[in-house]
Amino acid sequence: MILDVLTGLLLVAGCAFFAVGTLGLLRFPDLRTRLHALTKADNLGLGLVVLALVPQAGSVAEAAKLLLIWALALVAAATSSHLLGRDAPEEQT
């Protein structure tokens, strides 16, 4: 029972971070600040969602796969934001 409550809470927190990240994307003026908002908020949001699903996972293997998804998403997000930030010094119209 506690696990379900925990899952619910973590899910809500995760979605909140996603919302904040999207808000940042819409509000911030230039590329780099948007990148900042997206990579930080969304990855944390994804982490929380994954943590929320871990207790619901049927077996340890499934939980490990969920965490692997998060790790890969982190690496991919870091690389793409680095490339975007580095290659576009002036404002991207």
Partner 1 sequence: MTVGLVLDLVLVTAVLVSAGLALFVPGRVASVMMFLVFGLVLAVVWARLGAPDVALAEAAIAAGVTGALLLDAVTERPRRGPDRRVGPRWLMPLLGAVAGAGLVVLLGAAALQAGPVEPGTGLGPTVLDRTDDSGVSHPVTAVLLAFRAYDTLLEVAVLTLAVVVVLSLHRDGRLETVPAPGAASPVPDALVRLAVPVIVLGAGWLLVAGSSRPGGAFQAGALLAGALILLRLGGIRLAVPTGRWLRPAVLVGLAAFLTLGYVTVALGQGWLVLAEPWQGTVILLLEAVLTVSIGACLAVLFVAGRRPAAGTGRGEEP
Q: Which of 9, 30, 82, 88 binds partner 1 (CB under 8 A)?
A: 82
Angle (CA) 85-90-92 rounded to 5° is 80
Q: Which stretch binds partner 1 (CB under 8 A): 3-11, 13-21, 23-31, 80-88?
A: 80-88
User: What is the DSSP secondary structure assignment for residue 58, as one 8-state letter?
Assistant: S
Distance CA 40, CA 92 (A): 21
Residue of 3, 19, 23, 83 interacting with partner 1 (CB under 8 A): 83
Quick one: which of 3, 19, 64, 75 contacts partner 1 (CB under 8 A)? 75
- Grouping H, G, I as helix, E, B as strand and the rest as coil, residue 11 is helix
**Cα–Cα dist 51/69, whole Å:** 11
Would you give the DSSP letter of residue 42? Answer: I
Q: What minimum distance in Å lies between the beta carbon of 86 and partner 1?
A: 7
Cβ 14 to partner 1 shortest distance, Å: 17
Binding site for partner 1 (CB under 8 A): 68, 72, 75-76, 78-79, 82-83, 86
